[in-house]
Amino acid sequence: MDWSCWSVSLVIVMVIKLQVGKASTEIPPIFVFGDSTTYVGTNNYLPVERARADFPFNGIDYRDAKPTGRFSNGYNIADTIARLFGHKRSPPPFVALLRNQPFFKRNVLWGANFASGGAGLLDFTGRQLKVITIREQVEQFGTVCNNITQVMGESAEKVISNSLIIISIGSNGIFDYLLYNDTHNEEYFITTVMQSYHYHLTNLLNPGARKFGIVSVSPIGCIPRYRVQNPTGECIEERNLYAQKFSIELEGIMQKLSAEFEGMKYSLGNSYEATSYIIDNHLAYGFKDAITACCGLGKIGAESPCLPNVTVCQNRDDFFWWDRYHPSQASCEVLALTLYRGSQKYVKPISFSQLVEDI
């Protein structure tokens, strides 16, 4: 995963040009599920007061400096993964597509983004925020599959099976569990969330989904929000241990499902290992700072969310972190390229790019 001799943006542009050279029919539809790491504005359409980012300085490096709802200065990891597969960016939010009924059935043939900031694997995660749970996201995918069948007829099965299912979820459940429970039982919690993950993956497989790009939980104990709580300024290891255990158990779930469902292919990105490596070697990737939030207030920019009245850094590509929870556009580019082309240390049993080799 050593891109240090190259500009990451240049590498991504080169890969995108190769992908765009394909016939449009070879660019797979992409369906994105998860939380704020892959979310592109779903909550803009909901009666949600928090878990929103449709205001400055979010989007400061997006087209026309538009705050789209992404927790990013520009694109997030869902956008960059989609670009690597030949799309312009992540598909729009499902709820936005649904509002344009005359073109809904046609537009969903290219994909949809169901992710909702604040969502988790358990139904009660994000419930107070009134976001769209992973259960509801999977149900929305069922609606899309029904519409694809209506439009494509007998060809629908192939369209759905060739579609890419991108999922990034899990950190919010860990945040909530450690915050709201006086006693912590790691084994119980991990078992519970893995049962939920298995259930929801099965409900994506049953309608015909077969190609999965899964992003595991990153070292959440190292985000600025938690570093600032540690008197030493170091990562909070208890949270990291939960993230590590999550990744280990998720690998077992994916192996089990791939043995049960014929034709299933998956690529499991070890976000924990990849992110840890990039942070530890941030200078080699062009980042001058892998601790401080670019947009925020107080110590390491982590004592306030990214709001219009806070301080925002000028050289945003120098920062790994955008706000106190989320990576910057530049770091998402590095992470996405690692998933797309990385070694088995970071993504296995195959890379994301290999998911579409037979299309």
Which residues, in sequence order, are bridge partners of residue 265? 211
C-alpha closest to that of 29 among 138, 136, 148, 139? 148
Question: What tokens does 100 get?
Answer: 């344009």
**How far is Cα 114 from Cα 92, in angstroms, rounded to an integer?**
9
Could you tell me how far CA 259 lies from the centroid of its own chain?
A: 25
Active site residue 36: yes
At CA 218, angle to CA 217 and CA 222, rounded to 5?
135
Give the pairing type, strands 111-113 and 164-168: unpaired
Report d(CA 356, CA 350) in Å as an integer: 11
State the catalytic residue, choosing from 87, 200, 282, 326: 326
Q: Give the CA dihedral 301, 305, 310, 315, nearest 10 degrees.
A: 60
Torsion angle of the four alpha carbons 23, 27, 29, 31, in this order, in degrees rounded to the nearest 10: -160
Per the residue annotation, which of 35, 36, 171, 218 is the catalytic one? 36
* Catalytic residue status for 276: no
Can you tell me the distance from the alpha carbon of 152 to that of 290, in angstroms, rounded to the nearest whole number? 47
Q: Which of 323, 331, 351, 353 is catalytic?
A: 323
Give the type of residue at 177. Answer: Y
The CA angle 19-286-309, to the nearest 5 degrees, is 100
Residue 61 among the catalytic residues: no
The gap from C-alpha 343 to its chain's centroid, in whole angstroms, comes to 19
Phi-psi region of 301 (alpha: psi -120 to 50; beta: other; left: phi over 0): left
Catalytic residues: 36, 323, 326
